[in-house]
C-alpha cells in the first residue's frame, strides 16, 4: 500500500505507472485493498481532462475500478450500510466516473476521424455495458428512492454550479470525523447518490445511450423513480423555494435533473405516464407569483424540454393533458430565456401541424402572445403562420398590428440585402444573411401570402415605403450582382407573381410603371430557368390583359372552340395525391367517355401549351390541397379564365382531408365533394352543350370590348345563387355594380372584400352604426381624400340588409307570419307547408308537456325525454346551432325547426335532467367553441341559445360537476365574462355554476387555473352575489400579489361600509318593515361571509388613516381596539344601551330584542 501511495502521490504523472500500480494492487493484502482503491481513484480523478486519454481509459486498471464499484454497491445492498473504507473508496470512484463524463463530452466537441470514434465507442462499451453491473446500479437506485420516500434524514448539500447540472467535484469534502469502522448513515446515502448520479450522467452519453442493453434496463428504472411520490415532493419544494437560491441536495439534483435529462434523451411510450405528474408540477409553478425579471426554474426548463420530446411521440396526449395552458401566463418570460425559447417554438410547431393541436393552441390564445413575441424572436413567425386564420384578420386591432410587424420584418430583410450588395464577395456572414432571406421569403409566400387579404394589405401599405417597388428594386439589384443567387431571385419572382393576381388593389398600375422590370421579364421568356420563364410570361400576360397577344388568343379560341369535345382539364399540385387523381381521370374517361387531361403543375414546361389546352377545354377541375393554395400556376389558370369573355366552368374538389381554404383565392370557386363530382360535371357540360350557340355569340360580341386591366369579365348575375359568404371579390364587385351607384363613395372600400368580408362588414355595421360611420369616414378620407355622405352610408346598410334578406327569406319564416298557400291543391298540400305545420304542432305539444303537471308524470316524461335527447344528439342540432350563433347578428326571422330544436327541446331537457343528458356535453362544447371564435363587443346581447346552454350546464353541474370540469366548458365563458354578468337571464346561472364547482377541490383548482378569481373580483362591483363564489376561490397566495390585494381590500371595505350605511339609515326609521327585514338579512349574510384577518386589516386601517390624517396606527392601540370590541360584543345588550341611535327606544321594544338585530350583533 505504501508503494501505491508513493506512485500515486509523488509521481508527476501517475498514468506512466499504471502497470506497476495494478500489479501492486493485486498483491495487496485484503485489509488494504479498499484504502489502495481510494488512493488510486483519488490520484486519477485529480488529473485534468486534457491529461486523460483513451490509452489510460483502456488500461485494465480502469476495468478493475469499475468492477470494484459494482462490488461496493452490492455490499451496500446486502448490509444496508458502509464502513469508512468502503465509503471513501466509493467516493473517489464516483469522482473518477465524473472525470470520465467530462472527457467524453470534450471528445464530442473535437473533430475526430471515424477510426478514433470507433475506438472510443469500443472501449467505453466494453468498460460499462455489463448486464450485472447495470442491474446492480438499478437496484441501488430503486432502494435509495424507497429509503428517501420513507425516511427523513439530514441533508448534505452542495452548491449548484451555474455551468453544470450536477455537483462540482471541488465542492465536495469528506467528513473528517468519519469512523473507520462505520460511516455515518447520512454520509453513506450522500455518496451513494453522488455515485449513481455520476453513473447515470455517464450513461446519458450517446455511446451508452444508444446501447440497447444499457438503455432498456436503466430507462425503466429511472421512469419508476420519476413516477414515485418523492419526485412530486421534491419538485414542489424546489419550485416553491427556487427564488431563495438555496443549496440543493444531491438527491434533488439526481431525481429532478439527472433522471429527467436521461429520460428526455431516451423517450419511450412509457415516458407518457409522467404527464400527470408534470401537469401537477406546472400547476404549482403557475400559482407562484412571478415577475418578468425572474429567471425560469431549471426544473421547468427541463420539463418543457421533455414535453417537447413527448409531443413528437404523441402530441394528442400533450393536448389532452392541457399542458400548454400553463405556459400562457409566463409566455413572455419563457421567450426571454435562451434555453427555453427554441423548445417552445419546436413544441408549438409540432402541435400546430395537426388540426386538433392548432385548435387547442388557438383556444388558449397563443396567437396573440406569439405575434407579440415575434419582435424579439423571428423564429416565432413560423408557428404563427401555422396558427393564423382568416377570421383573425377581421379583428381590426390584430390585423393592423400583424401587418405592421410583417412589413417591418420584410423591410429588415430587404435592408440586410441592400447592405450586402455593396460589400465584398461572398463570405460566411453574407451566406448566412442570404439563407435567412430565402427562408423568410419562402415562409412569406407559402403561408402568409396564401391569404388574399394579407396580399392586399401589403400592397396598400404605403407608410414611408412601397413594398412592391422594394421587391422590384431588390430583384433587379440581385441580377446585376455577379454572385450566384438564383434561388433567392426565383423566390422573389414567385412573390411578385403572387401579388400580381390582386384585383382589388392598384398593383397592376404599380408594376406597369416599372418599365425596367417589364424589359427584364421580356428578356427571360426564353433564356432563364423554367420557373423564371413561366413567372415572367405569366406576369407580363396578367399585366397586359388587353394587348394584341391576348386578343389574338381570344380570336384563336373563337375559331378553335369546340363545344362538343367535352375536354376536361384536371389540375393538381401535390404529387402525393397522384394516385387519387389518376383514379378520377380514369373514371371520367372510361365510365363517362370524356376526354381528360391530367396536369401536375410542377411538370408544366410551357405556358403557351397550357393556355392552348385551357382554350380547348370545356371544364377545369382543381384538386384542392394545401400545396394548391400557394400554386401560382393554378392561380394563373383561374385568373386567365376569369379575364376571358367566354365562360369555362371551374370546379374544385378537396383531395386533402380538412384542407382550409378560408381567405384563400380558392375560396371563391364552387367546391364539390367526391360523391357529387361526376353528377356536377355532367350538369355543367350538358348546360354548355345546350347553350353552345349563345356562348359563341356572346364571345363574338365581347371580343371587341376594351376592359380595364383589373376587371373580371366572365362573371354573371348568377352570383346571387350562391350564399354571400361564398362570394369571391369579383362577385362582390358585380353586386356593387348592381346597386346602381347607391353608395358610390364607399365602393373603393367595399369592393376590396370577398363574401366573408362582406358578411363581417354587415355584422360590424349592425353592432355600432354611428361609430362605424365615423370609422369608415376616417378610412376613406385617408385613402382617397373624400368623405362619406350620410345618405350613401344609409344606402349601403340598406343594400346589405336586402342582400341578406333575399338569400334567407325562403329558409326562414317568423313563427307569427305563417300563411297557407292560397293555390294549394285540395288533394295535396305543398311539402314545405306540410313540414312547417308539423314542426309547429310538435313544438306546441312539447311546450305543453313542459308544464310541471305533465313534466312530473313518469309516463310522459320518460318517453319524451329520451326522444328529445336523441334530437339534440343529432347532427342537425349542431348544424342549426352553428348557423344560428354565427348569423344571430342579422336579426333574421327564425325557421320553426330552429325554434323547436334549439329552444323548445333544450328547455324541456333542462327541466327534465337525467344521466343521459350528460351525453350532450361534447355538442355543447363544440357550439361554445364556435361562439367564442366570433368577434363580439361588450354591447352585444348574449345569444338566446347561449343563455339556454348555460342554464343546462348549471343543471348538469348539480348532477355531475366532474363532467363539466373534464369538458373544460367554463373556459369558454372567460373571454365574455363581463358581458355575461351584464345579462340578467345569465348572471344567476353563472353564480350558481361557480358555487357548485368551487365547493369541490378539483372544481376550485379548475376555476383558479382559468383565471376566474380576477374576473369575479372585477364583477363584484355590479353584482354583490359574486362575493360568495369569490370567497370560495380566494387563497393566501393571492394576497401576496400587491395589485390584487389592494383592489380586493378596497372593494371589500367599500362593500362593508355600504352595509353599515344601510344599517345606520335604518336605525332612524319607523319600526320593522319588510324592507328593513331585507336589509338586516343582507347584513347578516354579509358579515357571516366577511373574512377579515387581523394582520391584513391592521395594514388596511393604517393605510387609510395615513391617507386621511397623516398619522399611523400604533400597534398597541389596534390591539386595544380589538380587545374593547371583543368585550363589547360578548355582551350584546350593552350594544343597545350604549349606542346613540338606540337611546330613545322604549322599554317595551327593547325587551322584545328583535331577533334579527340580536343575530347581527352576535355575528359582529
Mean pLDDT confidence for 100-114: 84
CA distance 988 to 981: 9
Whether the pLDDT of residue 562 is over 50: the answer is no
If you ran DSSP here, which 8-state letter would residue 903 be given?
Answer: I
Mean local confidence (pLDDT), 600-628: 90
- Greater confidence, 850 or 893? 850
- Measure the CA–CA gap between 294 and 487, rounded to whole angstroms: 44
Task: Using the predicted structure, report yes or no on whether residue 152 has a pLDDT greater than 70.
Answer: no
Q: How far apart are CA 275 and CA 223, in angstroms?
A: 12
pLDDT confidence band for 1139 (50 / 70 / 90): very low
Residue of 466, 360, 73, 217 whose CA lies nearest to 209: 217
Task: Look up the CATH number of domain 563-714.
Answer: 3.40.50.11530
Contact 535, 493 (CB under 8 A): yes
With 0-12 / 13-18 / 19 or more C-beta atoms within 10 angstroms meaning exposed / middle / buried, residue 295 is middle
In contact, 532 and 586? CB cutoff 8 Å: no
554 vs 535: CA distance, rounded Å: 21
Most confident of 342-346, 549-553, 933-937, 1026-1030: 342-346
Secondary structure (3-state) at 304: helix
DSSP 8-state secondary structure symbol assigned to residue 254: I
If you write DSSP's letter for every residue of 862-892 in order, what string do you get? Answer: HHHHHHHHHHHTSHHHHHHHHHHHHHGGGT-
C-beta of residue 753 within 8 angstroms of C-beta of residue 729: yes
How many residues in total does the chain contain? 1164
Which helix (H) or strand (E) element contains residue 232?
helix 229-241
Q: Determine contact, residues 589/596, Cβ cutoff 8 Å.
A: yes
Q: By mean pLDDT, which of 465-474, 540-549, 964-973, 1094-1103 is the weakest?
A: 1094-1103
DSSP H or E stretch at residue 649: none
- 425 CB burial (10 A radius; 0-12, 13-18, 19+): exposed
**56 vs 54: CA distance, rounded Å:** 5
List, in sequence order, every residue forming a beta bridge with 572; answer none if it has no partner. 600, 623
* Per-residue model confidence (pLDDT) at position 683: 83
Residue scoring higher pLDDT (797 or 924): 924
Question: What is the model's pLDDT at position 12?
Answer: 54
CA distance 654 to 624: 5
Q: Kindly state the average pLDDT of the residues 18-26.
A: 83
Residue with cell 455489463: 130
CA 796 to chain centre: 38
Query: What average pLDDT does the segment 346-358 reach?
Result: 93
The yes-or-no verdict on residue 331 having pLDDT over 60 is yes
Q: Which residues contact 22 (CB under 8 A, 6 or more apart)?
A: 59, 60, 61, 64
At residue 417, the pLDDT reads 86
| Pairing state between β 567-572 and 619-624 | parallel
Q: Which position has the higher pLDDT, 50 or 645?
A: 50
Three cell numbers, residue 300: 421547468
Q: Give the phi and the psi of residue 1092 in degrees, each rounded to 5.
A: -110, 120
- Is residue 365 within 8 Å of residue 406, measured between CB atoms? no
**Is residue 94 a contact partner of residue 188, using CB atoms and an 8 Å limit?**
no
- Give mean pLDDT, residues 659-682: 86
Residue 568: pLDDT band (50, 70, 90) is very high
Which of 878, 966, 864 shows the shortest CA–CA distance to 916? 864
By the 8 A CB rule, do 723 and 755 touch?
yes
- pLDDT tens track for 1058-1069: 888 877 776 655
What is the C-alpha separation between 816 and 446, in angstroms, rounded?
A: 52
C-alpha cell at 348: 408549438
Work out the number of other CB atoms within 10 angstroms of the CB of residue 585: 18
Q: Which residue in the block uniquely carries the three cell numbers 415605403?
A: 465
Q: Please, which pLDDT band fits residue 77 given cuts at 50, 70 and 90? A: very high
CA distance 321 to 308: 13
Output the CA torsion sign for 304, 306, 312, 315: negative
Does the reported pTM lie above 0.85? Answer: no
Cβ–Cβ < 8 Å for 368, 398: yes
| pLDDT of res. 552 | 42
In which band, very low, low, confident or very high, does the pLDDT at 720 lie, cut at 50, 70 and 90? low
Q: Mean pLDDT throughout 780-787?
A: 70
Average pLDDT over every residue of 753-771: 72
**Residue 1152, pLDDT above cutoff 80:** no
Question: Looking at the predicted structure, is the pLDDT value of residue 863 above 90?
Answer: no
In whole angstroms, give the CA distance from residue 209 to residue 202. Answer: 9
Report the percent of the chain where pLDDT is more than 90. 26
Q: Per-residue pLDDT averaged across 1120-1148, rounded?
A: 43
Per-residue pLDDT band for 357 (boundaries 50, 70, 90) equals: very high
Neighbours of 975 (CB within 10 A): 14
pLDDT at res. 421: 65
| Distance (Å, whole) CA 878 – CA 886 | 12
Q: Pick 419 or 814 by higher pLDDT.
A: 419
Grid cell for residue 10: 509523488
Q: Which residues contact 705 (CB under 8 A, 6 or more apart)?
A: 645
Provide the H-helix boundaries in 30-128. 33-45, 54-57, 60-79, 84-109, 114-128
Distance in angstroms (rounded) separating the CA atoms of residues 997 and 987: 15
What local confidence, expressed as pLDDT, does residue 716 receive? Answer: 41
For residues 1001 and 132, give the distance between their C-alpha atoms in angstroms, rounded to a whole number. 47
The mean pLDDT value for 690-704 works out to 42
Mean pLDDT (the chain) is 78
Residue boundaries of the structural domains of the chain: 2-266, 395-543, 563-714, 722-808, 1044-1164
Q: Which of 179, 143, 175 is nearest to 156 (CA)?
A: 175
Q: What are phi and psi of 430, to 5 degrees?
A: -65, -40
Rounded Cα distance, 1115 and 301, in Å:
45
Interatomic CA distance for residues 30 and 28, integer angstroms: 6
The residue with cell 370560495 is 1032
- Which triple of cell numbers denotes residue 1088? 357571516
The reported pLDDT for the residue numbered 425 is 59
Three-state DSSP state, 480: helix
Give the pLDDT confidence score for residue 627 in this predicted structure.
92
Pick from 36, 33, 90: nearest CA to 66 = 90
- In DSSP notation, 356-410 reads HHHHHHHHTTHHHHHHHHTTT-GGGHHHHHHH--HHHHTSHHHHHHHHHHHHHHH
Flag whether pLDDT at 711 surpasses 50.
Answer: no
Confidence of residue 388 (pLDDT cuts 50, 70, 90): very high
Instruction: Round to the nearest angstrom and report the end-to-end CA distance of the chain.
Output: 83
180 vs 127: CA distance, rounded Å: 31
Question: What is the Cα–Cα distance from 1086 to 988, expressed in whole angstroms?
Answer: 18
Q: Categorize the per-residue pLDDT at 1145 as very low, low, confident or very high, splitting at 50, 70 and 90.
A: very low
Amino acid at each position: 500500500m505504501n508503494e501505491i501511495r508513493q506512485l500515486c502521490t509523488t509521481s508527476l504523472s501517475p498514468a506512466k505507472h499504471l502497470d506497476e500500480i495494478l500489479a501492486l494492487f493485486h498483491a495487496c493484502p485484503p485489509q488494504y485493498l479498499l484504502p489502495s482503491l481510494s488512493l488510486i481513484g483519488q490520484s486519477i480523478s485529480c488529473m485534468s481532462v486534457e491529461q486523460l486519454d483513451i490509452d489510460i481509459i483502456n488500461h485494465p486498471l480502469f476495468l478493475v475500478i469499475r468492477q470494484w464499484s459494482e462490488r461496493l454497491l452490492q455490499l451496500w445492498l446486502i448490509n444496508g450500510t458502509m464502513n469508512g473504507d468502503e465509503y471513501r473508496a466509493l467516493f473517489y470512484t464516483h469522482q473518477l466516473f465524473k472525470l470520465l463524463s467530462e472527457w467524453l463530452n470534450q471528445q464530442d466537441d473535437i473533430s475526430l476521424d471515424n477510426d478514433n470514434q470507433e475506438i472510443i465507442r469500443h472501449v467505453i462499451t466494453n468498460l460499462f455495458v455489463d448486464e450485472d453491473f447495470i442491474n446492480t446500479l438499478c437496484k441501488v437506485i430503486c432502494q435509495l428512492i424507497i429509503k428517501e420516500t420513507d425516511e427523513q434524514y439530514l441533508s448534505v448539500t452542495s452548491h449548484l454550479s451555474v455551468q453544470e447540472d450536477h455537483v462540482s467535484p471541488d465542492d465536495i469534502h469528506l467528513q473528517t470525523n468519519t469512523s473507520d469502522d462505520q460511516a455515518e448513515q447520512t454520509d453513506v446515502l450522500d455518496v451513494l447518490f453522488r455515485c449513481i448520479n455520476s453513473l447515470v450522467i455517464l450513461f446519458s452519453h450517446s455511446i451508452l445511450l444508444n446501447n440497447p442493453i444499457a438503455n432498456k434496463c436503466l430507462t425503466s428504472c429511472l421512469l419508476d423513480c420519476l413516477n414515485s411520490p418523492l419526485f412530486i415532493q421534491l419538485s414542489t419544494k424546489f419550485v416553491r423555494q427556487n427564488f431563495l437560491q438555496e443549496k440543493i441536495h444531491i438527491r434533488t439534483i439526481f431525481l429532478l435533473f439527472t433522471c429527467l435529462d436521461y429520460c428526455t434523451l431516451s423517450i419511450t411510450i412509457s415516458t407518457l405516464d409522467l404527464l400527470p405528474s408534470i401537469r401537477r408540477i406546472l400547476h404549482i409553478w403557475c400559482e407562484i407569483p412571478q415577475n418578468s425579471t425572474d429567471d425560469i426554474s431549471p426544473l421547468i426548463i427541463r420539463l418543457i424540454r421533455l414535453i417537447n420530446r413527448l409531443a413528437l411521440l404523441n402530441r394528442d396526449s400533450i393536448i389532452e393533458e392541457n399542458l400548454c395552458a400553463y405556459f400562457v401566463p409566463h409566455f413572455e418570460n419563457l421567450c426571454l430565456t435562451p434555453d427555453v425559447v427554441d423548445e417552445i417554438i419546436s413544441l408549438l410547431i409540432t402541435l400546430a401541424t395537426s388540426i386538433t393541436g392548432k385548435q387547442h393552441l388557438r383556444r388558449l390564445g397563443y396567437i396573440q402572445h406569439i405575434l407579440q413575441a415575434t419582435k424579439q424572436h423571428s423564429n416565432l413567425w413560423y408557428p404563427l403562420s401555422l396558427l393564423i386564420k382568416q377570421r383573425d384578420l377581421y379583428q381590426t386591432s390584430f390585423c393592423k398590428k400583424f401587418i405592421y410587424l410583417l412589413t417591418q420584418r420584410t423591410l429588415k430583410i430587404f435592408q440586410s440585402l441592400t447592405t450586402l450588395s455593396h460589400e465584398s464577395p461572398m463570405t460566411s456572414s453574407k451566406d448566412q444573411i442570404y439563407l435567412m432571406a430565402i427562408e423568410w421569403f419562402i415562409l412569406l409566400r407559402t403561408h402568409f401570402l396564401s391569404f388574399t387579404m394579407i396580399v392586399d394589405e401589403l400592397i396598400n401599405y404605403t407608410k414611408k415605403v412601397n413594398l412592391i417597388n422594394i421587391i422590384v428594386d431588390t430583384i433587379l439589384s440581385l441580377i446585376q450582382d455577379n454572385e450566384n443567387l438564383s434561388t433567392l431571385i426565383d423566390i422573389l419572382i414567385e412573390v411578385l407573381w403572387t401579388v400580381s393576381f390582386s384585383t382589388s388593389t392598384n398593383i397592376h398600375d404599380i408594376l406597369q410603371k416599372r418599365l425596367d422590370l417589364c424589359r427584364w421579364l421580356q428578356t427571360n421568356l426564353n433564356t432563364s430557368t423554367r420557373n423564371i420563364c413561366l413567372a415572367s410570361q405569366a406576369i407580363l400576360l396578367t399585366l397586359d390583359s388587353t394587348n394584341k397577344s391576348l386578343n389574338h388568343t381570344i380570336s384563336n379560341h373563337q375559331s378553335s372552340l369546340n363545344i362538343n369535345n367535352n375536354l376536361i382539364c384536371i389540375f393538381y399540385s401535390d404529387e402525393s395525391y397522384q394516385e387519387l387523381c389518376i383514379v378520377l381521370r380514369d373514371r371520367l374517361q372510361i365510365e363517362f367517355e370524356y376526354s381528360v387531361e391530367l396536369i401536375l403543375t410542377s411538370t408544366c414546361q410551357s405556358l403557351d401549351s397550357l393556355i392552348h389546352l385551357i382554350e380547348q377545354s370545356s371544364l377545369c377541375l382543381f384538386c384542392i390541397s394545401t400545396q394548391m393554395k400557394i400554386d401560382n400556376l393554378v392561380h394563373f389558370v383561374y385568373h386567365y379564365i376569369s379575364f376571358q369573355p367566354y365562360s369555362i366552368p371551374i370546379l374544385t374538389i378537396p383531395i386533402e382531408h380538412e384542407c382550409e381554404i378560408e381567405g384563400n383565392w380558392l375560396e371563391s370557386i364552387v367546391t364539390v365533394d367526391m360523391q357529387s363530382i361526376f353528377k356536377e360535371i355532367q350538369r355543367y357540360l350538358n348546360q354548355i352543350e345546350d347553350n353552345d350557340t349563345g356562348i359563341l355569340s356572346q364571345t363574338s360580341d365581347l371580343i371587341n370590348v376594351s376592359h380595364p386591366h383589373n376587371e373580371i369579365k366572365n362573371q354573371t348575375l348568377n352570383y346571387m345563387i350562391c350564399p354571400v359568404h361564398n362570394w369571391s371579390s369579383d362577385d362582390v364587385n358585380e353586386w356593387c355594380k348592381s346597386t346602381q351607384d347607391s353608395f358610390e363613395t364607399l365602393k373603393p372600400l367595399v369592393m376590396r372584400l370577398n363574401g366573408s368580408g362582406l358578411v363581417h362588414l354587415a355584422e360590424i355595421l349592425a353592432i355600432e352604426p354611428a361609430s362605424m360611420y365615423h370609422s369608415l369616414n376616417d378610412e376613406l378620407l385617408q385613402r382617397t381624400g373624400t368623405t362619406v355622405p350620410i345618405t350613401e352610408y344609409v344606402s349601403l346598410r340598406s343594400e346589405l340588409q336586402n342582400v341578406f334578406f333575399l338569400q334567407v327569406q325562403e329558409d326562414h319564416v317568423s313563427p307569427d307570419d305563417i300563411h297557407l298557400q292560397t293555390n294549394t291543391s285540395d288533394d295535396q298540400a305543398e311539402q314545405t307547408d306540410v313540414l312547417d305545420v308539423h314542426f309547429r304542432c310538435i313544438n306546441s305539444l312539447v311546450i305543453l308537456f313542459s308544464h310541471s303537471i305533465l313534466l312530473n308524470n313518469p309516463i310522459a316524461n320518460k318517453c319524451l325525454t329520451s326522444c328529445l335527447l336523441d334530437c339534440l344528439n343529432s347532427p342537425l342540432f349542431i348544424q342549426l346551432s352553428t348557423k344560428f350563433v354565427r348569423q344571430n347578428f342579422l336579426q333574421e326571422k327564425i325557421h320553426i325547426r330552429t325554434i323547436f330544436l334549439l329552444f323548445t327541446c333544450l328547455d324541456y331537457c333542462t327541466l327534465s335532467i337525467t344521466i343521459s343528458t350528460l351525453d350532450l356535453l361534447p355538442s355543447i362544447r363544440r357550439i361554445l367553441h364556435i361562439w367564442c371564435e366570433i368577434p363580439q363587443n361588450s354591447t352585444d346581447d348574449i345569444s338566446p341559445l347561449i343563455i339556454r346552454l348555460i342554464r343546462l350546464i348549471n343543471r348538469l353541474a348539480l348532477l355531475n360537476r366532474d363532467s363539466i370540469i373534464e369538458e373544460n366548458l367554463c373556459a369558454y365563458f372567460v373571454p365574455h365574462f363581463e358581458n355575461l354578468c351584464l345579462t340578467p337571464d345569465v348572471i344567476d346561472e353563472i353564480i350558481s355554476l361557480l358555487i357548485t364547482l368551487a365547493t369541490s377541490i378539483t372544481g376550485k383548482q379548475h376555476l383558479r387555473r382559468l383565471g376566474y378569481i380576477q374576473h369575479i373580483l372585477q364583477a363584484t362591483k355590479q353584482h354583490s352575489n359574486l362575493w360568495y363564489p369569490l370567497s370560495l376561490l380566494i387563497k393566501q397566495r393571492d394576497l401576496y400579489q400587491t395589485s390584487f390585494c389592494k383592489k380586493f381590500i378596497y372593494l371589500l371595505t367599500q362593500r362593508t361600509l355600504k352595509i353599515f350605511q344601510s344599517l345606520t339609515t335604518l336605525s332612524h326609521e319607523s319600526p320593522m318593515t319588510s324592507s328593513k327585514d331585507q336589509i338586516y338579512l343582507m347584513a347578516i349574510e354579509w358579515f357571516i361571509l366577511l373574512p377579515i384577518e387581523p394582520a391584513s386589516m391592521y395594514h388596511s386601517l393604517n393605510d387609510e388613516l395615513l391617507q386621511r390624517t397623516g398619522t399611523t396606527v400604533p400597534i398597541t392601540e389596534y390591539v386595544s381596539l380589538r380587545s374593547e370590541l371583543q368585550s363589547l360584543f360578548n355582551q350584546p345588550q350593552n350594544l343597545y344601551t350604549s349606542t346613540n341611535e338606540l337611546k330613545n327606544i322604549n322599554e317595551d321594544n327593547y325587551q322584545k330584542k328583535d331577533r334579527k338585530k340580536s343575530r347581527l350583533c352576535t355575528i359582529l
